[in-house]
Amino acid sequence: MQQTDFARTLIDWYQRHRRELPWRDTVDPYKIWLSEIILQQTRVAQGLPYYLRFLEAFPDVHRLAAAPIGAVLRLWQGLGYYSRARNLHACARAVVEKHGGQFPCHFEALKSLPGIGPYTAAAVASFAFKQPVAVVDGNVFRVLARIFGFEQDTAAPAARAFFFEKANALLDPQHPELFNQALMEFGALHCTPRNPGCADCVFQTRCLAHRYNLQQTLPVKGKKQKVRHRHFNYLVLNWKKKLLMHTRDAPDIWRGLNEFWLVETRRAVGWDGLRPHLLKLPAAATNGNPVSCHDFRHLLSHQVLHIRFYQLELKKEWKKLPPGFRWHTARSVDQLAKPIILTRYLETIGYLKASA
Ligand code: SF4
């Protein structure tokens, strides 16, 4: 589909179906910005009374900037995500202090203001100043992915740049404000997530999702992997400056690397909470208190490891070692492949020399 064909069809649809909303019939960047911040993560019906109350209390950016933050937060009460209110206030101050009370008209300059991301910057730049820059949000992902059959994972970090480029290529440079509003409204009212109105859609004959029945598949949303928190308790057994270690061989992180005696617990437990898990260790090592205890936090791509190292001294050698465990001298420990966090710990206690 040609850019002009797409834009014309979309804008025609918008002019017949658009909702009348107070921030639609203004080119005042303050009002447009205010509505966009309020409507982030908020439905129109819920945000509308807040928008009207804010405008009544703070009719322009100077009044908002001069207000105490407490008054802004009070008015925001009930909308949630209070960082938006703090950013709203900080942004108003920045506009007054750095831009003489005038919102900048360019996308990049708008993006540099507190709380203004690419979406809000594009909305203000195009609605207020007719700058030809496309808005990209969840509605835009959905509409473009369905009509053009884009299978990019919208949860992936590169998705925004991809859809931004596609939306800009389709944008009507003469009417960027209408195009952007139309695209968002079409996604919000017609090409909705669960029940898109395919039966009477202006794009029906050209939409790939409709042709191949992919409405429920597009846009692709890869599952965001949940971050897993794990609690590792390492028992660093020390006998005559040798450390007890083994190689990890379970199908888990760090397979093939060397580590100390590990007790993984579901939550953080202190030394006393750990004792029931230490029955296989020599009583002489675990009866008393550890020589030292160090905490580390280690981030992996989808895991956060909360690691506590307990250093334990043995007075005599533990000879009948469990399978896989060996005593290692400092030199051997130095040369073993081991997770970087173990190296950091050993450097912290001075067992290994800190690398430069
Ligand atoms: S035909 Fe259906 S899926 Fe395609 S744009 Fe229209 S409403 Fe969306």
Q: Is 198 in the pocket of ligand 1 (CB under 6 A)?
A: yes
- Give residue 171 CA to ligand 1 midpoint distance, Å: 19
Mean pLDDT rounded to a whole number for the chain: 92
Domain boundaries 228-348, corresponding CATH code:
3.90.79.10
- Distance in Å, CA 147 to ligand 1 centroid: 7
Residue 52 gets the label, from left (phi > 0), alpha (psi -120 to 50) or beta, of: alpha
Amino acid at 282: P
- H or E stretch covering 33: helix 29-39
Residue 339 pLDDT grade (very low, low, confident, very high; cuts 50, 70, 90): confident
Instruction: Mean pLDDT check: name the lowest of 99-108, 154-163, 179-188, 279-288.
Output: 279-288
Indicate if the pLDDT at residue 90 is higher than 50: yes
Tokens of 232: 């590792």
CA distance 191 to 201: 8
Question: Looking at residue 250, what is its pLDDT?
Answer: 82
Distance CA 228, CA 305 (A): 8
Active site residue 36: yes
Candidate list 36, 177, 185, 259, residue with the active-site label: 36
Q: Which tokens go with 234?
A: 């390492």
Pocket test for ligand 1, best of 6, 144, 189, 215 (most atoms within 8 A of CB): 215
Sign of CA dihedral 90, 91, 92, 98: positive
Predicted confidence (pLDDT) per residue in 31-71, tens digit: 999 999 999 878 899 999 999 999 999 999 999 999 998 88
The predicted pLDDT at position 137 comes to 92
Instruction: Name the superfamily (CATH) of residues 3-211.
Output: Hypothetical protein; domain 2 (1.10.340.30)
Is the pLDDT at 102 greater than 80, yes or no? yes
Band (224; pLDDT cuts 50, 70, 90): low
**Ligand 1 nearest-atom number relative to CA 218:** 3
- For the chain, which residues make up each domain, given as ranges? 3-211, 228-348
Q: Supply the pTM of this predicted model.
A: 0.65
Q: What DSSP line would sit under 172-230, residue for residue?
A: -TT-HHHHHHHHHHIIIIIS-SSS--GGG-TTTTT-HHHHTT-TTT-SB-PPPPPPEEE
Is residue 123 within 8 Å of residue 172, measured between CB atoms? no
**Which atom of ligand 1 is least distant from the CA of 142?**
8
pLDDT tier at 300, thresholds 50, 70, 90: confident
Nearest CA to ligand 1 atom 8: 191
The pLDDT tens digits of the residues spanning 177-213 come to 999 999 999 999 999 999 999 999 999 999 999 998 9
Per-residue pLDDT at 301: 67
How confident is residue 356, by pLDDT bands cut at 50, 70 and 90? very low
